[in-house]
Amino acid sequence: MVVGLLNIKIVVRDSRSLKDKRQVIKSLKDKTRQRYNVSISEVGAQDNHKQCLLAVAMVGNEKRYVNSVLSTLVNSFRLFPGVELVDYELDFI
C-alpha cells in the first residue's frame, strides 16, 4: 500500500475578499474530488484572500499509479482558471 501526499501552494488571482477566494477554492476542490477520487483540504493561509495551501492525499496499491494521478493533478491545477500554481511538494509513505 502506498500513500501519496501532495502539498500545493496556489494564488487566487482575482480574489478581493475571503468570500471570493472560498468560491474559487470550493469549485477547485469539488472538481478535483470528482475527477481524481482523492481527498483534498485547505490546510493553510485560510485568512489570506490571495494565497491558499492545499493538501491532497491518495491511497493505492502501486507507487507508479499514485504518482501518475498526482502528477496529472498538478498539471490540472496549472490549467485551472483563476488560480496560479506557485509551488508543490509530492511525498510518498
pLDDT digits over 57-74, tens only?
A: 999 999 999 999 999 999
The pLDDT of residue 21: 86
Residues of the chain with pLDDT under 70: none
Domain boundaries, the chain: 2-92
CATH of 2-92, one of 3.30.70.1120, 3.30.70.580, 3.40.50.720, 1.10.645.10: 3.30.70.1120
CA-wise closest residue to 58 among 80, 91, 16 = 91
Amino acid code (one letter) for 45: A
Whole-model pTM: value is 0.84
The strand pair at 51-60 and 39-44 is best described as: antiparallel
